[in-house]
């Protein structure tokens, strides 16, 4: 079964509802469940366990992880979602890590990796970051390079597996794709669809993916031929990988 969560603002809800129809037309969904809620607490109360989720606002992934309680999560995202000021779509990963001390995480593909304001806290514990392009970070011993996922994600996936273990929950924020795919509402990432599929294929080959979601679907996808193709191909690959 596939669970659809039209959660968040209007464009997020419309986007999930549209993708449900799109995936059904493509023959990729045989049985579907739709769960709507006005806030995170109500969503958590309604959620049921599943292997596949399609969600609007990425905050919904917090509720899924709180239900499933995996030991590790991989987030493929243009943002780290590790802001630690208040719980929303930009901080859900920080707060689920804080509230589940047994959870570890890895983030693949981020572009924006620093706090947006001097007052914003950035969560750093039990998480590894693998940006799309080469970047550096300051440590007590000077500047150190992150392991990036370009030109090949193999090394990054290997390092993540050493840290996370064999089994993971996988969440894919579709804003990790470049702007021309027209899916997300705000900032986009630096990956093309082929690069994203290559990364996801590597994750599926190296981890047991217990369940997955694709997130930050917005109504913009209705007008994007590339976006529709991307959602269909990503969902198809992941659905096959967890069955």
Q: What is the pLDDT of residues 57-90, one digit of tens each?
A: 999 999 999 999 999 999 999 999 998 888 888 8
Lowest mean pLDDT among 114-118, 119-123, 184-188, 211-215: 114-118
pLDDT of residue 113 exceeding 60, the answer is no
CB atoms within 10 A of CB 136: 11
Residue 162 CB partners (closer than 8 Å, separation 6+): none
pLDDT of residue 209 exceeding 70, the answer is yes
Domain of residue 172, residue span? 2-242
Instruction: Using only the alpha carbons of the chain, give its radius of gyration.
Output: 17
> Would you mind telling me the total number of residues written for the chain in this entry?
243
pLDDT value for 159: 95
Domain total of the chain? 1
Greatest C-alpha distance within the chain: 55
CB atoms within 10 A of CB 132: 22
CB atoms within 10 A of CB 167: 12
Q: Pick from 46, 35, 45: which is nearest to 8 by CA?
A: 35
Predicted TM-score (pTM) of the model is 0.94
Average pLDDT over residues 32-55: 95
Q: Is the dihedral of CA 180, 173, 74, 105 positive or negative?
A: positive
pLDDT of residue 117 exceeding 70, the answer is no
Query: Looking at residue 191, which CATH number applies to its domain?
Result: 3.40.800.10
């Amino acid at each position: 079964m596939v669970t659809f969560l039209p959660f968040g603002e209007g464009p997020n809800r419309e986007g999930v509802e549209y993708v449900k129809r799109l995936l059904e037309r493509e023959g990729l969904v045989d049985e579907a469940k739709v769960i709507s809620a006005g806030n995170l607490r109500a969503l958590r109360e309604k959620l049921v366990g599943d292997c596949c989720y399609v969600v609007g606002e990425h905050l919904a992934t917090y509720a899924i992880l709180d239900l499933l309680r995996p030991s590790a999560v991989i987030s493929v995202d243009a943002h780290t979602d590790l802001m630690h000021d208040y719980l929303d779509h930009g901080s859900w990963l920080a707060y689920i890590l804080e509230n589940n001390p047994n959870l570890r995480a890895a983030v693949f593909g981020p572009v924006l990796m620093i706090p947006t304001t001097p007052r914003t806290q950035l969560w750093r514990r039990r998480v590894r970051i693998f940006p799309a392009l080469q970047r550096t970070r300051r440590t007590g011993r000077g500047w150190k390079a992150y392991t990036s996922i370009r030109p090949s994600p193999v090394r990054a996936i290997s390092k993540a597996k050493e840290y996370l273990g064999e089994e993971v929950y996988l969440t894919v924020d579709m804003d990790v794709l470049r702007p021309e795919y027209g899916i997300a509402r705000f900032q986009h990432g630096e990956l093309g669809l082929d690069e994203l599929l290559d990364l996801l294929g590597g994750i599926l080959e190296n981890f047991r993916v217990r369940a997955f979601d694709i997130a930050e679907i917005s109504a913009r996808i209705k007008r994007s031929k590339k976006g529709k193709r991307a959602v269909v191909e990503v969902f198809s690959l992941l659905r096959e990988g967890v069955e």
